[in-house]
Amino acid sequence: MLLVSYSFAAFCLVLFAVYYLFSGRLQWVVLLVFSGLFYAHGGVRGLLYPLVTTGSAWFLAGRIGRQTKESGRYMKEQGFDRMQKKAYTKQVKKKQRCLLTAGLVLNFGILAAAKYTSLFMTLGISYYTFQAMGYLIDVYRRKYEPERNPARLALFVGFFPQLTAGPISRFDRMREELFREHRFSFSGFRLGAERVLWGYFKKLVIANRIGPAAAAITGSPELYSGFFAFFGMLFHVIELYADFSGCMDIVLGLSQMLGISLPENFERPFFSKSLSEFWRRWHMSLMQWFREYIFFPVSTSHFSQSFAKAVGRIGGRQAGSKAPVWLAGLVVWLVTGIWHGASWRFVTWGLANCSVILLSQELSGVYRGFHERFAFSNRPWYQYFASLRTCLVFGLLQMLIYVSIPELFGMFLGMAAGEGLSELCAGGLLTLGLDLADYGILFLGLVLLFAVELMGRGGSVRERFEEKPGWLRYLLLFALFLLVIMAGVYGHGYDASRFIYNRF
């Protein structure tokens, strides 16, 4: 079921009615049933894979949890001394590691088969697999007890708003949210609805409108170079952000309407001063997942320590101490690239991001010296320049998904030679599927989006909005609603309403 569809709107209306009718301990069952319906909308067979993931995570986590408990009891009964305890715990951990490995191999195997073969594809497989495996690893790490009720775990894995594009949540946090009673609160419901509306504005008015133009350029890089390449990059970045963050606003707003708080996934990434900061503020839950379940384990692994020693021997102590971070960063970005798509272009994109981040980390001393020497670097305009520079770097790296590195150079070197400029001046942008009215709407939409993001730097925009008089809020929201209804790209003849991150 698409978030931009009438059937989804009807689905939500029925859900809200039933959900608040069952106000009490059964609410999570309602959510589970509706999540199942949401999933089964694309075909009952599609339920099989999340069921396998849930079932395996529940079974294996249960076994791991039981082993932990039993081993503790056993060691107490036997009165083991410290050494015996250590040896026995090691033995138990080995068994648990086997169970964990089985779970990871099975589920990431299914994920790989879905993503990289044409055998099957199922909605949100990355997101629910990551959530379920995060849960399994946490139980293995003894962060919390395993969930006894498989149905409750199924809701955590398959909570429908998250299936489209995340965010990826942790079980200990979500347990508090999903399984408590949610009484209807008009203000909470209204705030959620407002956020949903803002999300649809980003998606329908901006992303869907600019999408065809971005696709025209990025889809045919051989036809568009020079200034067109720059616009292609710009359009692609705008589309990506409006699409993905719009989807998140819909997901988070919808959850808020149900009384459930989900973790934020964006924090105004385009105001970041560096690429590493950008990636800390973009798709935050995925990056946190990678950090927690890949970066830290890899950087503290035996292999990493041996690698650090080897590097230290060759390059000195300082290089040796940094080696685990380099290695872990490389692995994370390799996985990120592969996760985004099954082609060498994505691998290149991931490694290019990794290179820029590691390089800027290594040059941090040079930057510090620069900032100390030149006072202007603390001025507001320089902060904006740094943000713009980050956006540009992000955009350039994004283009690697569509073209090779030499092609990218070729496209942008053409700009220096003035390539495409005369076509642009002759109305070339109007040949990309957008007319003047479209550009007008886009301009207005982007100004509004930028203004709201800018206001967000000084504190919560929503809190400040709430302080405004009721009539003004109503007027502004109705104007936004009209903008979405009238200027949104949706409905008859439009068949590209899928969210970009649905594909993952």
Question: In Å, how far are 24, 169, 263, 269 from 281, measured between CA atoms?
Answer: 36, 16, 12, 5
* Closer residue to another protein, CB minimum distance, 81 or 495: 495
- Is the separation of the CB atoms in 497 and 4 below 8 Å? yes
* 488 contacts another protein (rule: CB under 8 A): yes
Q: What is the DSSP string of 318-385?
A: HHHHHHHHHHHHHHHHHHHHHHH-SSHHHHHHHHHHHHHHHHHHHTHHHHHHHHHH-GGGGSHHHHHH
* 269 contacts another protein (rule: CB under 8 A): no
* Closer residue to another protein, CB minimum distance, 413 or 482: 482
* Closer residue to another protein, CB minimum distance, 197 or 386: 197
Q: How far is Cα 479 from Cα 33, in angstroms, rounded to an integer?
A: 35
User: How many chain residues touch another protein (CB under 8 A)?
Assistant: 15
Count Cα atoms within 13 angstroms, Cβ side, for 412: 17
Longest dimension (CA), the chain: 86
* 13 contacts another protein (rule: CB under 8 A): no
What's the closest the beta carbon of residue 440 comes to another protein, in angstroms? 10
What's the closest the beta carbon of residue 8 comes to another protein, in angstroms? 12
Instruction: Kindly state the tokens that stand for 43.
Output: 């075909």
Q: How far is Cα 192 from Cα 231, in angstroms, rounded to an integer?
A: 34
- Is the separation of the CB atoms in 252 and 135 below 8 Å? no
What's the closest the beta carbon of residue 193 comes to another protein, in angstroms? 15
Residue 436 burial (C-beta neighbours within 10 Å; 0-12, 13-18, 19+): exposed
Q: How far is Cα 172 from Cα 190, in angstroms, rounded to an integer?
A: 27
Count Cα atoms within 13 angstroms, Cβ side, for 247: 26
Out of 223, 314, 375, 437, name the contact with another protein by CB under 8 A: 437
* Closer residue to another protein, CB minimum distance, 223 or 437: 437
Count Cα atoms within 13 angstroms, Cβ side, for 441: 23
Q: How far is Cα 126 from Cα 108, in angstroms, rounded to an integer?
A: 9
Out of 474, 496, 498, 503, name the contact with another protein by CB under 8 A: 474
DSSP H helices in 426-499? 436-455, 461-466, 470-487
* 489 contacts another protein (rule: CB under 8 A): yes
* 476 contacts another protein (rule: CB under 8 A): no
By CB under 8 A, which span of 46-54, 242-250, 405-413, 470-478 interacts with another protein?
A: 470-478
* Closer residue to another protein, CB minimum distance, 365 or 470: 470
Q: Which of 502, 108, 120 is nearest to 338 (CA)?
A: 108
What's the closest the beta carbon of residue 13 comes to another protein, in angstroms? 12
* Closer residue to another protein, CB minimum distance, 137 or 489: 489
By CB under 8 A, which span of 110-118, 164-172, 182-190, 487-495 interacts with another protein?
A: 487-495
* Closer residue to another protein, CB minimum distance, 210 or 284: 210
What's the closest the beta carbon of residue 196 comes to another protein, in angstroms? 17
Q: How far is Cα 266 from Cα 263, in angstroms, rounded to an integer?
A: 9
* Closer residue to another protein, CB minimum distance, 83 or 437: 437
What's the closest the beta carbon of residue 448 comes to another protein, in angstroms? 18
* Closer residue to another protein, CB minimum distance, 33 or 475: 475
Q: Which of 230, 232, 238 is nearest to 217 (CA)?
A: 232
Residues 129-158 contacting another protein, CB under 8 A = none
* 6 contacts another protein (rule: CB under 8 A): yes
Q: How far is Cα 350 from Cα 401, in angstroms, rounded to an integer?
A: 9
* Closer residue to another protein, CB minimum distance, 120 or 478: 478
By CB under 8 A, which span of 106-114, 171-179, 225-233, 491-499 interacts with another protein?
A: 491-499
3-state secondary structure of 269: helix
Instruction: Kindly state the tokens that stand for 230.
Output: 């720059």
**Site mask for another protein (CB under 8 A), range 383-422, x = bound:** ----------------------------------------
Out of 367, 435, 447, 454, name the contact with another protein by CB under 8 A: 435
Q: How far is Cα 136 from Cα 38, in angstroms, rounded to an integer?
A: 25
* Closer residue to another protein, CB minimum distance, 447 or 472: 472
What's the closest the beta carbon of residue 189 comes to another protein, in angstroms? 16
Instruction: Kindly state the tokens that stand for 44.
Output: 């009952």
* Closer residue to another protein, CB minimum distance, 467 or 495: 495
* Closer residue to another protein, CB minimum distance, 40 or 482: 482
CA–centroid distance for 100 within its chain: 25
Out of 173, 478, 496, 503, name the contact with another protein by CB under 8 A: 478
Q: How far is Cα 420 from Cα 232, in angstroms, rounded to an integer?
A: 12
By CB under 8 A, which span of 26-34, 269-277, 330-338, 488-496 interacts with another protein?
A: 488-496
Residues 26-65 contacting another protein, CB under 8 A = none
* 492 contacts another protein (rule: CB under 8 A): yes
Out of 491, 496, 498, 503, name the contact with another protein by CB under 8 A: 491
Q: Which of 145, 65, 49, 125 is nearest to 100 (CA)?
A: 65
Site residues for another protein per CB under 8 A: 6, 435, 437, 471, 474, 478, 482, 485-486, 488-489, 491-493, 495
